[in-house]
């Protein structure tokens, strides 16, 4: 399976750059233009910050569009781009001070559910007391995801799993953001209240649920094929619960910044025990590798997991040790595929730093 993941990486790159990337660029420009027209300066600044600072989130997610047949590829790209832009925007909104972190966070993240199964009437997602004059930006993102998703031939087979993953993501993100002011107890209580059977500890379940936006992207790609079954969709969602949990590596990479900003990271949920966290992460890698063998497009999904590890492993040095040392230990069984992926990630980070040297001043525009 490791060797087939390497083949999937090559195949995805051969398809991505000529067939997917041009459309991604067009859609990102579309949403940047829309964000730049937001009337409220605070919301405009937040939206542009996310769009310009996290292009890679969209680029990584849209590699899944390489799985789609040509006839449905445009809709898959458009849906994934809009969904990731929406998710990133909701994420930064959720980090702002809220009067009631749980209630207001849940209201905000209802947008994730509505982009797959719209409410009977338009919602006002912005929390009471926060700016909301966005010129229809948030509603446009929700509508764009749904319009593209609705046209995919296999949407009926994936709809239930996609909606469940979106709801998990919304709840986990709300709980994570609320932990800053309400503490981790409410996040732990929510994770422990979920149905048993995943085999994950509450920390891994919380992280996997928060990363379930990846599952929705993968299910959108699966919906591009009319032969996709409900059972296949469920297996993809289950697999990505484990892949999403690997985002806990972020808490190792960003530990100094989180501490300085007063933010909680997943490492805190393990009492700061990095060795315990790494042990759990290595077990997650093994579980994904096993499950991928019986999941449709398993080699590509395994490649996605490797990409997650390489993304954090290619980050600049932390205060304690190089993050790529942590990633090497976590992905120790992925030798033949982790090295080229790490190299790609390092090249991307260099290119990103170069591009940011000439980035416009968002404060001046806001």
More confident of the two residues 263 and 182: 182
The residue written with tokens 């009631």 in the block is 100
Q: What is the pLDDT of residue 363?
A: 40
Q: Indicate the pLDDT class of residue 333, thresholds 50, 70 and 90.
A: confident
Q: Which two tokens stand for residue 117?
A: 């199964």
More confident of the two residues 346 and 89: 89
Report the C-alpha gap between 55 and 28 in whole angstroms. 8
Average pLDDT over residues 185-204: 95
Q: Indicate the pLDDT class of residue 164, thresholds 50, 70 and 90.
A: very high
21-25, 165-169, 267-271, range with the lowest pLDDT: 267-271
Output the furthest CA–CA distance in the chain (Å, rounded): 53
Evaluate if residue 359 carries a pLDDT over 60: no
Burial of 325 (0-12, 13-18, 19+ CB in 10 A): middle
Q: Which two tokens stand for residue 57?
A: 């989130």
Nearest-5° angle of CA 342, CA 345, CA 346? 85
Evaluate if residue 319 carries a pLDDT over 50: no
Evaluate if residue 143 carries a pLDDT over 70: yes
Please provide the CATH number assigned to the domain covering 2-365: 1.10.600
pLDDT digits 0-9 by tens, 230-280:
999 999 999 999 999 999 998 887 776 666 666 778 998 999 898 999 999
Evaluate if residue 170 carries a pLDDT over 80: yes
Chain-centroid distance of CA 172 in Å reads 12
Nearest-5° angle of CA 181, CA 167, CA 204? 65
80-94, 113-127, 156-170, range with the lowest pLDDT: 113-127
Evaluate if residue 226 carries a pLDDT over 50: yes
Are 137 and 210 in contact by the 8 Å Cβ rule? The answer is no
pLDDT digits 0-9 by tens, 60-117:
999 999 999 999 999 999 999 999 999 999 999 999 999 999 999 999 999 999 999 9
**Mean pLDDT (the chain, rounded):** 90
Report the C-alpha gap between 44 and 313 in whole angstroms. 32
Report the C-alpha gap between 277 and 256 in whole angstroms. 17
Average pLDDT over residues 21-36: 98
Report the C-alpha gap between 238 and 244 in whole angstroms. 10
> What residues contact residue 53 under an 8 Å CB cut-off, 6+ apart?
none
Of 152, 144, 141, the residue nearest 233 (C-alpha):
152
């Amino acid at each position: 399976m490791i060797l087939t993941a390497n083949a999937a990486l090559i195949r995805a790159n051969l398809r991505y750059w000529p067939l997917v990337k041009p459309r991604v660029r067009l859609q990102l420009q579309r949403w940047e233009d829309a964000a730049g027209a937001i009337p409220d300066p605070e919301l405009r600044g937040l939206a542009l910050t996310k769009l310009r600072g996290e292009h890679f989130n969209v680029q990584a997610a849209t590699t899944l569009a390489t799985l789609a047949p040509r006839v449905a590829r445009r809709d898959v790209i458009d849906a994934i781009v809009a969904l990731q832009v929406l998710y990133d925007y909701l994420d930064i909104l959720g980090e702002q001070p809220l009067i009631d972190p749980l209630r207001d966070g849940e209201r905000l993240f209802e947008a994730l559910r509505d982009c797959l199964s719209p409410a009977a009437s338009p919602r006002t997602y912005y929390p009471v007391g926060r700016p909301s004059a966005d010129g229809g930006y948030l509603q446009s993102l929700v509508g764009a995801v749904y319009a593209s998703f609705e046209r995919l031939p296999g949407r009926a087979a994936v709809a239930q799993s996609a909606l469940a993953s979106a709801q998990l993501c919304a709840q986990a993100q709300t709980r994570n953001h609320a932990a800053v002011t309400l503490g981790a107890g409410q996040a732990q209580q929510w994770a422990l209240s979920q149905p048993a059977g995943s085999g994950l500890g509450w920390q891994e379940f919380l992280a996997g649920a928060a990363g379930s936006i990846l599952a929705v992207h993968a299910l959108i790609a699966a919906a591009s094929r009319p032969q996709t079954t409900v059972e296949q969709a469920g297996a993809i969602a289950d697999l990505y619960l484990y892949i999403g949990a690997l985002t806990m590596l972020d808490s190792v990479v960003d530990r100094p910044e989180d501490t300085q900003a007063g933010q909680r990271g997943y490492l805190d949920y393990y009492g700061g025990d990095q060795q315990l966290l790494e042990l759990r992460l290595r077990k997650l890698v093994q579980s994904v590798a096993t499950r991928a063998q019986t999941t449709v497009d398993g080699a590509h999904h395994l490649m996605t997991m490797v990409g997650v590890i390489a993304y954090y492993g290619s980050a600049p040095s932390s205060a304690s040790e190089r993050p790529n040392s942590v990633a090497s230990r976590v992905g120790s069984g992925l030798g033949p595929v982790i090295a080229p992926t790490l190299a790609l990630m390092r090249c991307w980070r260099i290119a990103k730093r170069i591009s940011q040297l000439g980035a416009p001043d968002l404060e001046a525009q806001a």
